[in-house]
């Protein structure tokens, strides 16, 4: 059924055109009116009426030419035989379809020319009919003009639909581009923070190696030389890291002179949010462990971003923050009771993008969305390795 539906949705009109052509050809071949053609002339008329209808099969490639030729060819054949075009259902449907297609043309100029062709062609066909009455010369062209008007009205709707689709496609591309930029910027921010953490650790290592080297006796030349090489390699690495960090900073980035925050600063963060007007309840469960500086910083940033979203976007009256230490992971949760929070990255700046990138770096997981009880819930899980404990 699905294949048949797909086929008829794509070629259904073509099938109807072929059926109309066959009907017109049969009706022409079975004419029994006085003076009907016979022999070669009959064969010509059968082929001619079939060609008139089948011309519409080229409507996709020639949107103006195919329906226009249908009407022009009909008017021309009416001079050969005044009864050839009239009183055939297939030709009537072809003429009405051609009128609709001409009205549906995207250009106003071509559409108006098409209307003139429809009115003139219909008037000529009816005038050449020896059995016509005076009112038919007016009524029949008006009937096909109504078909043209239907096509014109559908064109307006089609153009509006197409414009809406183009706007939606453009907005989707812009949203994806903005998301890529946000990811790149947030990755740069995370990298700068982690570079600071790693640079501090390397500095401590270099200082400790230097202290050990100075305490060693002068006679232990081989070990002192080894420690000198280690110290020199550490200082070189620090210099390269500073150079890389400077390259990653933007011109308008301010140097961070204060230490990076961690979960030890969570109480101060909650107090700041409370002072901004959002009541927050903080709950810490499990046995707190010493976290690696990078993980500690990322956990703080995740909770900070969750509270910021609750404060700015969720229109919440209260929020809850839960930090749970387990044997294998650190679980973070920020919940609010607002009518709606940001369920996508669009319009949230670095919000969920930054959280997702931080969680991905440490091999964790996250979820964000509206809860069944209402409000917005952000959850993140960060694995704890044995070194963290």
DSSP for 25-82 reads HHHHHT--STT---HHHHHHHHHHHHHHHHGGGGTTT-TTHHHHHHHHHHHHHHHH-T
Radius of gyration of the chain (CA): 40
pLDDT at 257: 43
201 Cβ contact partners less than 8 Å away, ≥ 6 residues apart: 293
Distance CA 118, CA 147 (A): 10
Q: How many residues does the chain have?
A: 389
Q: C-alpha angle with apex 50: 48 to 56, nearest 5 degrees?
A: 110
- Burial of residue 221 (CB within 10 Å: 0-12, 13-18, 19+) is exposed
CA 62 to centroid of chain Cα atoms = 32
Q: Which of 316, 373, 312, 378 is nearest to 343 (CA)?
A: 378
Strands 329-336 and 376-383: antiparallel
Question: CB-hemisphere CA count at 13 Å for 150?
Answer: 12
Name beta bridge partners: 284.
323
102 Cβ contact partners less than 8 Å away, ≥ 6 residues apart: 64, 67, 68, 110, 111, 114, 115, 117, 118, 148, 151
pTM reported for the whole predicted model:
0.48
CATH of domain 263-388: 3.30.565.10
> What tokens appear for 65 in the block?
């030419």
251 Cβ contact partners less than 8 Å away, ≥ 6 residues apart: none
pLDDT at 244: 67
Strands 319-325 and 329-336: antiparallel
> What tokens appear for 305 in the block?
């971003």
For the chain, 389 residues long, the average pLDDT of each consecutive 10-residue run is 71 88 89 80 90 91 92 92 86 92 88 93 92 87 93 83 84 81 72 68 77 80 82 79 65 52 89 88 90 87 87 81 93 85 45 81 88 85 68
Q: Which of 151, 96, 153, 102 is nearest to 125 (CA)?
A: 96
Q: Coil, helix or strand for 101?
A: helix
pLDDT at 195: 66
Q: C-alpha angle with apex 109: 105 to 110, nearest 5 degrees?
A: 45
- Could you please report the per-residue DSSP string of 336-382? E--S----SSTTSTTHHHHHHHHHHHTT-EEEEEE-TTSSEEEEEEE
Domain ranges of the chain: 2-169, 180-248, 263-388
pLDDT at 247: 63
Distance CA 119, CA 369 (A): 60
Distance CA 126, CA 128 (A): 5
Q: Which helix (H) or strand (E) holds 320?
A: strand 319-325
């Amino acid at each position: 059924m699905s294949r048949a539906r797909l086929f008829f949705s794509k070629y259904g009109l073509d099938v109807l055109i072929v059926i109309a052509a066959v009907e017109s050809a049969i009706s022409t071949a079975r004419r029994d009116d006085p003076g009907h053609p016979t022999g070669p002339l009959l064969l010509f008329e059968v082929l001619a009426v079939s060609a008139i209808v089948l011309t519409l099969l080229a409507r996709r490639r020639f949107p103006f030419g195919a329906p226009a030729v249908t009407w022009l060819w009909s008017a021309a054949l009416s001079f050969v035989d005044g009864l050839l075009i009239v009183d055939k259902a297939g030709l009537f449907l072809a003429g009405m379809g051609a009128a609709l297609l001409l009205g549906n043309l995207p250009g106003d100029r071509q559409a108006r020319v098409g209307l003139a062709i429809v009115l003139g062609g219909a008037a000529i066909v009816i005038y050449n009919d020896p059995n016509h009455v005076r009112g038919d010369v007016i009524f029949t062209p008006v009937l096909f003009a109504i078909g043209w008007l239907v096509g014109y009205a559908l064109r307006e709707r089609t153009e509006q639909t197409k414009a809406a689709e183009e706007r939606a496609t453009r907005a989707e591309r812009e949203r994806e581009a903005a998301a890529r930029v946000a990811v790149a910027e947030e990755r740069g921010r995370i990298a700068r923070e982690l570079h600071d953490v790693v640079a501090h650790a390397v500095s401590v290592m270099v200082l400790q190696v230097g202290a050990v080297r100075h305490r060693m006796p002068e006679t232990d030349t081989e070990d002192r030389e080894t420690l000198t090489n280690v110290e020199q390699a550490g200082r070189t690495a620090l210099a390269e890291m500073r150079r890389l960090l400077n390259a990653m900073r933007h011109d308008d980035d301010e140097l961070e002179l204060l230490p990076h925050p961690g979960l030890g600063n969570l109480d101060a963060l909650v107090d700041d949010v409370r002072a901004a007007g959002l009541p927050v309840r903080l709950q810490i469960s499990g046995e707190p462990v010493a976290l690696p500086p990078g993980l500690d910083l990322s956990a703080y940033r995740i909770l900070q971003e969750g509270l910021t979203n609750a404060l700015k976007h969720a229109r919440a009256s209260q929020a809850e923050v839960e930090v749970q230490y387990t044997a294998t992971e650190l679980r973070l949760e920020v919940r609010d009771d607002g009518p709606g929070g940001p369920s996508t990255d669009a319009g949230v700046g670095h919000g969920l993008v930054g959280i997702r990138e931080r969680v991905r770096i440490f091999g964790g997981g996250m979820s964000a969305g509206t809860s069944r009880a209402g409000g917005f819930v952000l959850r993140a899980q960060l694995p704890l390795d044995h070194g963290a404990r």
